[in-house]
Amino acid sequence: MLALALATALAATPACTADDTLAYVCGTEKPEDVVALPGTRWLIASGFARGAGLKLVDIDARRATQWYTGDAGQRRPDPRWMRTCPGPLDAALFNARGLSLRATGPGRWRLLVVNHGGRESIEMFDVAATGTAPPTLTWRGCVPMPAGQVANSVASFADGTILATVLTRPGTTIGDFMLGRPTGAVWRLAPGADRFEQLPGTELPGNNGIETDPDERHFYVVAFGWHAVVMYDRADTRQPVDRFVAPDFMPDNIRWSGGRLLVAGMRLDEPACGGLRAVVNGVADPMLCHRGWVVGAVDRTARRIATVAYGRPQPQFNGLSAAALVGDTVWLGSFQSDRLASVPLPKPEGTAP
Protein backbone atom coordinates (compact mmCIF):
# COMPACT_ATOMS: atom_id res chain seq x y z
CA MET A 1 0.00 0.00 0.00
CA LEU A 2 2.81 2.43 0.85
CA ALA A 3 4.57 1.80 -2.47
CA LEU A 4 1.28 2.35 -4.35
CA ALA A 5 0.59 5.57 -2.46
CA LEU A 6 4.09 6.85 -3.15
CA ALA A 7 3.82 6.01 -6.84
CA THR A 8 0.47 7.79 -7.09
CA ALA A 9 1.79 10.87 -5.32
CA LEU A 10 4.90 10.95 -7.46
CA ALA A 11 2.86 10.80 -10.64
CA ALA A 12 0.71 13.69 -9.45
CA THR A 13 3.61 16.02 -8.67
CA PRO A 14 3.70 18.89 -11.22
CA ALA A 15 6.73 19.38 -13.40
CA CYS A 16 8.82 22.53 -13.18
CA THR A 17 10.22 24.45 -16.10
CA ALA A 18 13.98 24.86 -16.10
CA ASP A 19 15.56 28.29 -16.52
CA ASP A 20 18.87 29.14 -18.18
CA THR A 21 20.89 27.62 -15.33
CA LEU A 22 18.84 25.41 -13.02
CA ALA A 23 16.36 22.57 -13.42
CA TYR A 24 13.70 22.05 -10.76
CA VAL A 25 11.58 19.57 -8.82
CA CYS A 26 8.45 21.24 -7.43
CA GLY A 27 6.21 20.09 -4.60
CA THR A 28 8.99 20.49 -2.03
CA GLU A 29 7.88 23.40 0.14
CA LYS A 30 10.94 25.14 1.60
CA PRO A 31 13.38 22.21 1.28
CA GLU A 32 15.82 23.71 3.79
CA ASP A 33 18.02 20.61 3.85
CA VAL A 34 18.57 17.76 1.42
CA VAL A 35 20.46 14.46 1.70
CA ALA A 36 21.11 11.71 -0.84
CA LEU A 37 20.27 8.12 0.09
CA PRO A 38 23.54 6.38 -0.88
CA GLY A 39 23.38 3.81 -3.63
CA THR A 40 19.81 4.67 -4.60
CA ARG A 41 17.93 7.06 -6.88
CA TRP A 42 16.37 8.84 -3.92
CA LEU A 43 16.85 12.15 -2.12
CA ILE A 44 15.33 13.17 1.21
CA ALA A 45 14.29 16.83 1.57
CA SER A 46 13.05 18.60 4.67
CA GLY A 47 10.10 20.99 4.61
CA PHE A 48 10.65 24.15 6.65
CA ALA A 49 6.96 25.03 7.13
CA ARG A 50 4.01 23.76 9.16
CA GLY A 51 2.98 20.37 7.80
CA ALA A 52 5.65 20.36 5.07
CA GLY A 53 7.46 17.49 6.83
CA LEU A 54 9.69 15.23 4.75
CA LYS A 55 9.69 14.73 0.98
CA LEU A 56 11.01 11.70 -0.87
CA VAL A 57 12.46 12.71 -4.24
CA ASP A 58 12.90 10.32 -7.15
CA ILE A 59 15.97 11.62 -8.99
CA ASP A 60 15.27 9.69 -12.18
CA ALA A 61 11.62 10.72 -12.47
CA ARG A 62 12.31 14.18 -10.98
CA ARG A 63 9.21 13.84 -8.79
CA ALA A 64 8.59 14.43 -5.08
CA THR A 65 6.07 13.02 -2.64
CA GLN A 66 5.08 13.59 0.98
CA TRP A 67 6.95 10.86 2.83
CA TYR A 68 5.96 10.90 6.50
CA THR A 69 2.18 10.72 6.67
CA GLY A 70 1.80 9.70 10.30
CA ASP A 71 0.01 6.45 9.37
CA ALA A 72 0.19 3.64 11.94
CA GLY A 73 2.44 1.65 9.62
CA GLN A 74 5.04 4.43 9.80
CA ARG A 75 5.17 4.49 13.62
CA ARG A 76 7.06 1.99 15.79
CA PRO A 77 8.15 3.76 18.98
CA ASP A 78 11.45 2.62 20.48
CA PRO A 79 11.44 2.72 24.31
CA ARG A 80 14.96 4.22 24.24
CA TRP A 81 13.62 7.27 22.40
CA MET A 82 10.33 7.58 24.27
CA ARG A 83 11.65 8.29 27.77
CA THR A 84 11.26 12.05 27.31
CA CYS A 85 9.36 12.18 23.99
CA PRO A 86 5.82 13.50 24.64
CA GLY A 87 4.17 11.31 22.00
CA PRO A 88 3.87 10.47 18.30
CA LEU A 89 4.91 13.03 15.72
CA ASP A 90 1.91 14.87 14.23
CA ALA A 91 2.32 14.92 10.44
CA ALA A 92 -0.03 17.91 10.16
CA LEU A 93 2.36 19.97 12.29
CA PHE A 94 5.69 18.46 11.22
CA ASN A 95 8.02 21.35 10.36
CA ALA A 96 11.33 19.81 9.35
CA ARG A 97 14.61 21.69 9.13
CA GLY A 98 18.07 20.10 9.44
CA LEU A 99 18.69 16.46 8.48
CA SER A 100 21.35 13.88 9.36
CA LEU A 101 21.67 10.42 7.84
CA ARG A 102 23.90 7.61 9.17
CA ALA A 103 24.13 4.04 7.87
CA THR A 104 23.17 1.33 10.39
CA GLY A 105 23.51 -1.70 8.09
CA PRO A 106 23.13 -2.77 4.46
CA GLY A 107 20.27 -0.75 2.99
CA ARG A 108 19.44 0.78 6.39
CA TRP A 109 19.97 4.22 7.91
CA ARG A 110 19.08 6.31 10.95
CA LEU A 111 17.59 9.66 9.97
CA LEU A 112 17.62 12.52 12.48
CA VAL A 113 15.40 15.53 11.81
CA VAL A 114 15.14 18.91 13.49
CA ASN A 115 11.42 19.55 14.11
CA HIS A 116 9.64 22.80 14.96
CA GLY A 117 6.07 21.53 14.56
CA GLY A 118 4.18 21.18 17.83
CA ARG A 119 7.44 20.80 19.75
CA GLU A 120 11.11 21.75 19.48
CA SER A 121 12.77 18.37 19.11
CA ILE A 122 15.07 15.98 17.30
CA GLU A 123 12.94 13.27 15.67
CA MET A 124 14.33 9.77 15.05
CA PHE A 125 13.45 7.68 11.99
CA ASP A 126 14.64 4.41 10.51
CA VAL A 127 15.00 4.24 6.72
CA ALA A 128 15.18 1.01 4.73
CA ALA A 129 15.77 0.59 0.98
CA THR A 130 15.46 -2.73 -0.84
CA GLY A 131 15.68 -3.21 -4.58
CA THR A 132 13.92 -0.67 -6.77
CA ALA A 133 10.93 -0.04 -4.49
CA PRO A 134 10.65 3.34 -2.72
CA PRO A 135 12.45 3.29 0.65
CA THR A 136 10.38 2.96 3.81
CA LEU A 137 10.33 5.41 6.71
CA THR A 138 9.57 4.49 10.33
CA TRP A 139 9.28 6.99 13.19
CA ARG A 140 11.00 5.69 16.37
CA GLY A 141 10.76 8.56 18.86
CA CYS A 142 12.20 11.96 19.74
CA VAL A 143 14.32 13.94 22.15
CA PRO A 144 13.03 17.42 23.09
CA MET A 145 15.43 20.33 22.97
CA PRO A 146 16.09 22.13 26.27
CA ALA A 147 13.48 24.74 27.16
CA GLY A 148 13.87 27.89 25.07
CA GLN A 149 16.45 26.35 22.71
CA VAL A 150 15.46 26.03 19.04
CA ALA A 151 17.63 23.63 17.05
CA ASN A 152 18.81 24.45 13.56
CA SER A 153 20.90 21.47 12.41
CA VAL A 154 21.78 18.01 13.69
CA ALA A 155 24.58 15.45 13.27
CA SER A 156 25.76 12.26 14.97
CA PHE A 157 28.81 10.17 15.73
CA ALA A 158 29.01 6.39 15.29
CA ASP A 159 28.83 5.84 19.07
CA GLY A 160 25.34 7.38 19.16
CA THR A 161 26.33 10.87 20.31
CA ILE A 162 24.01 13.49 18.79
CA LEU A 163 25.00 17.11 18.23
CA ALA A 164 22.54 19.93 17.52
CA THR A 165 23.14 23.61 16.83
CA VAL A 166 21.12 26.51 18.17
CA LEU A 167 21.25 29.56 15.91
CA THR A 168 19.95 32.15 18.37
CA ARG A 169 19.49 31.54 22.08
CA PRO A 170 16.74 33.47 23.90
CA GLY A 171 17.48 37.20 23.96
CA THR A 172 19.55 37.22 20.75
CA THR A 173 18.59 37.95 17.14
CA ILE A 174 19.68 37.38 13.56
CA GLY A 175 20.89 40.98 13.55
CA ASP A 176 23.19 40.15 16.47
CA PHE A 177 24.99 37.32 14.70
CA MET A 178 25.19 39.29 11.45
CA LEU A 179 27.14 41.84 13.46
CA GLY A 180 29.48 39.09 14.69
CA ARG A 181 28.05 38.69 18.20
CA PRO A 182 27.82 35.19 19.73
CA THR A 183 24.21 34.03 19.67
CA GLY A 184 24.16 30.24 19.62
CA ALA A 185 25.97 27.08 20.65
CA VAL A 186 26.32 23.35 20.06
CA TRP A 187 24.35 21.00 22.29
CA ARG A 188 25.28 17.35 22.86
CA LEU A 189 23.14 14.34 23.70
CA ALA A 190 25.47 11.64 25.03
CA PRO A 191 24.65 7.96 24.42
CA GLY A 192 22.03 6.84 26.94
CA ALA A 193 21.33 10.38 28.15
CA ASP A 194 17.83 11.86 28.28
CA ARG A 195 18.77 15.52 27.89
CA PHE A 196 21.07 17.71 25.82
CA GLU A 197 23.95 19.61 27.42
CA GLN A 198 25.70 22.68 26.00
CA LEU A 199 29.30 22.23 24.88
CA PRO A 200 31.67 24.88 26.29
CA GLY A 201 33.51 27.04 23.76
CA THR A 202 30.98 26.49 20.95
CA GLU A 203 29.25 29.87 21.31
CA LEU A 204 29.45 31.38 17.81
CA PRO A 205 27.71 34.14 15.83
CA GLY A 206 24.86 32.14 14.33
CA ASN A 207 25.58 28.42 14.88
CA ASN A 208 24.05 26.94 11.72
CA GLY A 209 24.96 23.73 9.87
CA ILE A 210 26.84 20.96 11.67
CA GLU A 211 28.62 17.80 10.52
CA THR A 212 30.89 15.19 12.07
CA ASP A 213 34.17 13.95 10.61
CA PRO A 214 34.76 10.33 9.55
CA ASP A 215 37.70 10.26 11.98
CA GLU A 216 35.04 10.25 14.75
CA ARG A 217 37.07 12.88 16.57
CA HIS A 218 36.22 16.22 14.98
CA PHE A 219 33.09 18.11 14.01
CA TYR A 220 32.36 21.20 11.93
CA VAL A 221 30.01 24.08 12.66
CA VAL A 222 28.94 26.88 10.33
CA ALA A 223 29.25 30.30 11.97
CA PHE A 224 26.82 32.19 9.76
CA GLY A 225 27.79 35.64 11.03
CA TRP A 226 31.44 34.98 10.22
CA HIS A 227 30.66 33.32 6.84
CA ALA A 228 32.92 30.53 8.02
CA VAL A 229 33.20 26.88 9.06
CA VAL A 230 34.67 26.28 12.52
CA MET A 231 36.29 22.93 13.37
CA TYR A 232 36.29 21.40 16.87
CA ASP A 233 37.86 18.41 18.62
CA ARG A 234 35.07 16.61 20.47
CA ALA A 235 37.46 15.70 23.30
CA ASP A 236 37.91 19.38 24.22
CA THR A 237 35.65 22.03 22.69
CA ARG A 238 36.85 24.97 24.74
CA GLN A 239 38.85 26.28 21.75
CA PRO A 240 38.29 25.64 18.02
CA VAL A 241 40.88 23.61 16.12
CA ASP A 242 40.59 25.58 12.89
CA ARG A 243 38.47 28.05 10.95
CA PHE A 244 37.74 28.21 7.21
CA VAL A 245 36.33 31.43 5.75
CA ALA A 246 34.06 31.22 2.69
CA PRO A 247 34.93 33.21 -0.45
CA ASP A 248 32.08 35.73 -0.89
CA PHE A 249 29.15 33.58 0.20
CA MET A 250 27.21 32.81 3.36
CA PRO A 251 27.45 29.08 4.20
CA ASP A 252 24.30 27.61 5.71
CA ASN A 253 24.27 23.79 5.91
CA ILE A 254 27.31 21.52 5.75
CA ARG A 255 27.46 17.83 4.84
CA TRP A 256 29.67 15.08 3.50
CA SER A 257 28.32 14.29 0.04
CA GLY A 258 29.99 12.55 -2.87
CA GLY A 259 33.20 12.33 -0.84
CA ARG A 260 33.34 16.10 -0.28
CA LEU A 261 32.51 18.23 2.74
CA LEU A 262 30.04 20.55 1.02
CA VAL A 263 28.75 23.91 2.23
CA ALA A 264 26.10 25.93 0.42
CA GLY A 265 24.67 29.41 0.68
CA MET A 266 23.79 32.69 -0.96
CA ARG A 267 26.28 35.18 -2.32
CA LEU A 268 27.46 37.66 0.30
CA ASP A 269 28.08 40.71 -1.89
CA GLU A 270 25.25 40.64 -4.44
CA PRO A 271 25.04 43.71 -6.75
CA ALA A 272 21.42 42.90 -7.66
CA CYS A 273 20.51 43.32 -3.98
CA GLY A 274 22.56 46.42 -3.28
CA GLY A 275 25.66 44.58 -2.09
CA LEU A 276 26.13 43.19 1.41
CA ARG A 277 23.26 42.03 3.58
CA ALA A 278 22.30 45.02 5.69
CA VAL A 279 21.45 45.29 9.39
CA VAL A 280 19.32 48.38 10.07
CA ASN A 281 18.49 49.35 13.66
CA GLY A 282 19.47 45.84 14.74
CA VAL A 283 17.19 44.13 12.22
CA ALA A 284 18.74 42.00 9.47
CA ASP A 285 17.54 42.19 5.88
CA PRO A 286 15.34 39.07 5.33
CA MET A 287 17.10 38.45 1.99
CA LEU A 288 13.94 38.33 -0.09
CA CYS A 289 15.92 39.87 -2.92
CA HIS A 290 17.21 36.98 -5.04
CA ARG A 291 20.93 36.48 -4.59
CA GLY A 292 23.44 34.43 -6.49
CA TRP A 293 24.33 31.08 -4.97
CA VAL A 294 27.53 29.15 -4.23
CA VAL A 295 28.39 25.56 -3.29
CA GLY A 296 31.84 25.08 -1.80
CA ALA A 297 33.95 22.24 -0.37
CA VAL A 298 36.05 22.47 2.78
CA ASP A 299 39.69 21.59 2.08
CA ARG A 300 41.36 20.94 5.44
CA THR A 301 44.82 20.48 3.92
CA ALA A 302 44.79 23.80 2.05
CA ARG A 303 42.78 25.44 4.86
CA ARG A 304 40.24 26.95 2.51
CA ILE A 305 36.77 26.53 1.04
CA ALA A 306 37.03 25.79 -2.67
CA THR A 307 34.18 26.69 -5.03
CA VAL A 308 32.39 23.65 -6.49
CA ALA A 309 29.53 25.37 -8.35
CA TYR A 310 27.90 28.80 -8.48
CA GLY A 311 25.24 30.73 -10.33
CA ARG A 312 23.51 34.06 -10.90
CA PRO A 313 20.25 35.13 -9.21
CA GLN A 314 17.24 33.28 -10.64
CA PRO A 315 13.61 34.44 -10.47
CA GLN A 316 12.30 30.97 -9.54
CA PHE A 317 14.85 30.10 -6.84
CA ASN A 318 16.29 31.90 -3.82
CA GLY A 319 17.56 31.14 -0.35
CA LEU A 320 20.07 28.38 -1.12
CA SER A 321 20.72 26.52 2.14
CA ALA A 322 21.98 23.00 1.32
CA ALA A 323 23.63 20.91 -1.39
CA ALA A 324 23.94 17.22 -2.18
CA LEU A 325 26.17 15.72 -4.86
CA VAL A 326 24.86 12.69 -6.77
CA GLY A 327 27.07 11.58 -9.63
CA ASP A 328 27.65 14.61 -11.84
CA THR A 329 24.64 16.56 -10.54
CA VAL A 330 24.48 19.03 -7.65
CA TRP A 331 21.09 19.21 -5.91
CA LEU A 332 20.23 22.46 -4.13
CA GLY A 333 17.91 23.00 -1.18
CA SER A 334 16.29 26.28 -0.13
CA PHE A 335 14.77 27.73 3.04
CA GLN A 336 12.58 30.06 0.94
CA SER A 337 11.59 28.41 -2.35
CA ASP A 338 8.86 25.93 -3.25
CA ARG A 339 11.25 23.65 -5.14
CA LEU A 340 14.53 21.79 -5.24
CA ALA A 341 17.02 22.85 -7.91
CA SER A 342 19.68 20.89 -9.73
CA VAL A 343 22.64 21.81 -11.89
CA PRO A 344 25.32 19.74 -13.66
CA LEU A 345 28.62 19.66 -11.83
CA PRO A 346 30.94 22.00 -13.77
CA LYS A 347 33.69 20.20 -15.68
CA PRO A 348 37.27 21.50 -15.61
CA GLU A 349 38.28 23.32 -18.77
CA GLY A 350 39.62 20.93 -21.37
CA THR A 351 37.71 17.93 -20.01
CA ALA A 352 36.16 15.74 -22.71
CA PRO A 353 32.32 15.80 -22.71
Query: Per-residue confidence at 205, pLDDT binned at 50, 70, 90?
Result: very high
Question: Would you state the pLDDT for residue 146?
Answer: 97
Q: Using CA of residue 123, residue 161, residue 331, residue 273, what is the dihedral sign?
A: positive
Instruction: Return the domain boundaries, the chain.
Output: 255-269+284-343
Q: For 33-74, what is each residue's pLDDT tens digit? A: 999 999 999 999 999 999 999 999 999 999 999 999 999 999
Say what the pTM is. Answer: 0.94
CA distance 54 to 68: 6
Note the pLDDT tens digit of each residue in 162-203. 999 999 999 999 999 999 999 999 999 999 999 999 999 999
Q: Are 163 and 212 in contact (CB under 8 A)?
A: yes
Q: Average pLDDT, stretch 1-30?
A: 67
pLDDT in tens, 66-117: 999 999 999 999 999 999 999 999 999 999 999 999 999 999 999 999 999 9
Query: Per-residue pLDDT for 12 more than 70?
Result: no
Q: Cα(257)–Cα(250) distance, rounded to whole angstroms?
A: 19
How confident is the prediction for the chain on average, in pLDDT? 94
pLDDT above 70 as % of the chain: 94
pLDDT in tens, 315-346: 999 999 999 999 999 999 999 999 999 999 99
Query: What pLDDT does 228 receive?
Result: 98
> What does 96-144 look like in DSSP terms, one character per residue?
EEEEEEEEEETTEEEEEEEE-SSS-EEEEEEEE--TTSPPEEEEEEEEE
What is the pLDDT, as a whole number, of residue 350?
A: 56
Give CA separation, 210 vs 144, 150, 157, 202, 289, in Å. Answer: 18, 14, 12, 12, 26
In this prediction, residue 225 carries a pLDDT of 96
